[in-house]
Structure 1
């Protein structure tokens, strides 16, 4: 339990530093974008290569991944039904809403949580791969279909994961692990240095975004935002906890991992997807869901860690 508390304390303090430097105007929105881009395109992929090259692969694809997938399936199905028959959303709005309820922030917040709270950053690798190899291509295919002037091509769908640097880094790390190959020292040492800056860079950027980001609730109806937030931060981890514990009977560490990872907030790249396909309600829903689930998810994760840790 003490390790969980120390892990969250470390994360929250670095996030607070990011918020402070934003408040003092040391870093503005442009600086936050630079930090995020460096983390996304350079540091995170390096971290995935370093971590997965040495990870116990059999540990990465155990029952906790099935529990996480079950949580995503339940929340996505629930929102899809509500969007179709209650909220009356079109296909674009429905797909974006589903992403808001099930697509977790596995990069900027998930990797630090896995490293400092769960004790193993490699625990996020299956989630990253699931999202980038399955959920995102499927969502883009549906959004392309909803757009009259866009039609999905097989090549575009197949290469979508390869356009994400984190996914590429994860695949490279897995390849090194499975083949037993080792990078030469001339590459391994600088790669390790870059990987070491991933977590602090992500957390600083996250803190800056919390301070400078827009207040939620100004573009989305309160009931819809409440539904999305509840599905993401309460229902998804609740289902994962139920499946991992009573249903599958997993070890306590796996139950904790499934619940905490499922409680992560909506990923920021859902907003990017929404902005690409829609400039109206779906865009506002994504923006507000990211802000609100971020605020709610932290106490939920702390509570789950205290209960299960």
Structure 2
């Protein structure tokens, strides 16, 4: 369990640093948006490119992928359906809402938890690559459509992924991995340095937003926040477990992996994306905060019950 607490502690320290910098007026809301923009357009693409370059895309096409994908689909549909009951849906807000319910923190927390709790870092590869190559490009395309000043033609909608820096970097990284080609050191090393800034920038920007914005739980209706967090930490792992056990017949180790990874909190880059597009920022911020705190006992409980 040391890996679980270590991963959460690292995130907590950087978020607290962001809150401190905001409290001391070193970074204001304008600075927070600059950090988020830098992470979105520069640091995150560099990180995705260098990480995916060294990945094994074949690992994403595993049985555990089916359980993870099914769980994401279940919570996204539930979120859209239940949100629709409260009134008409805004495309941008609905997209961010669905991401808060189904997009897991596979990078910052998934890797240490896979290493120290599940015993194999490779177990996080299917859900990590699925999010980077499928969920994120789809969500970004929907958000591009949502913020477009005029109605986009089908051609422009389909071409949107080719203009988004995160999608371009992900595709380039996978292409390099499939081809076996490696970037020369003169290119890879600077990208690696810039990519190393992505996660700290996201977390510090998030901490600034926590300090300068409304307190968590006061910025969005409790029912809306409760729906997102409940789906994230209860419905998603339950769906992954059900599909893995009864539909796919996964062995205990694989079943534990898909269930634990589905119970990870909402990823910080959901807040960066929400900030970039100006949609449901407070929901993303609060869902990350609450789900991160609540996922610690959730992961411990799942591990105790299944392992």
Cα deviations by residue, 1:102-133 (Å, 9 ceiling, x for unpaired): 456869x5532234443558552321222233
Q: Which residue of 1 aligns with 2:107?
A: 111
Cα deviations by residue, 1:193-230 (Å, 9 ceiling, x for unpaired): 11222222222222222222333555754434433432
Unmatched runs of 5 consecutive residues or more in structure 2: 116-120
Q: 1:50 to 1:186 in 2, by over 3 A?
A: same
Q: Which residue of 2 aligns with 1:295?
A: 289
Q: 1:82 to 1:188 in 2, by over 3 A?
A: closer
The 3-state SS of whatever aligns with 1:215 is coil
Tell me whether 1:133 sits opposite 2:99 in the alignment. no
Q: Which residue of 2 aligns with 1:90?
A: 88
Q: Is the 8 A contact 2:45 2:169 kept in 1?
A: yes
Cα deviations by residue, 1:28-85 (Å, 9 ceiling, x for unpaired): 112211221222111111111111111122223323432332223222322333344x
Q: Is the 8 A contact 2:210 2:216 kept in 1?
A: no
Q: 1:196 to 1:288 in 2, by over 3 A?
A: closer
The 3-state SS of whatever aligns with 1:112 is coil
Moved more, 48-57 or 221-230: 221-230
The 3-state SS of whatever aligns with 2:108 is helix
Q: Which residue of 1 aligns with 2:30?
A: 30
What's the CA shift for 1:6? 1.7
Q: Distance in 1 between matches of 2:139 and 2:198?
A: 24
Q: Which residue of 1 aligns with 2:77?
A: 77
Q: CA RMSD in A?
A: 3.3
Q: Which residue of 1 aligns with 2:234?
A: 234
Q: Is the 8 A contact 1:11 1:116 kept in 2?
A: no
Q: Which residue of 2 aligns with 1:210?
A: 210
The 3-state SS of whatever aligns with 2:109 is helix
The 3-state SS of whatever aligns with 2:31 is helix
What's the CA shift for 1:287? 3.9
Unmatched runs of 5 consecutive residues or more in structure 1: 276-282
Q: Which residue of 2 aligns with 1:265?
A: 266
Q: Distance in 2 between matches of 1:125 and 1:192?
A: 19
**Structure 2 matches for 1:108-257, cutoff 5 A?**
110-119=106-115, 124-137=128-141, 150-215=150-215, 221-245=221-245, 247-248=247-248, 249=250, 252=253, 255-256=256-257
Q: 1:229 to 1:289 in 2, by over 3 A?
A: farther
TM-score, normalisation: structure 2: 0.79
Q: Which residue of 1 aligns with 2:118?
A: none
Q: Distance in 1 between matches of 2:187 and 2:111?
A: 23
Q: Which residue of 2 aligns with 1:279?
A: none
The 3-state SS of whatever aligns with 2:182 is coil
Q: Distance in 1 between matches of 2:178 and 2:233?
A: 35
Q: Distance in 2 between matches of 1:304 and 1:265?
A: 13
Moved more, 286-295 or 46-55: 286-295
The 3-state SS of whatever aligns with 2:290 is helix
What's the CA shift for 1:265? 2.5
Q: Which residue of 2 aligns with 1:280?
A: none
TM-score, normalisation: structure 1: 0.78
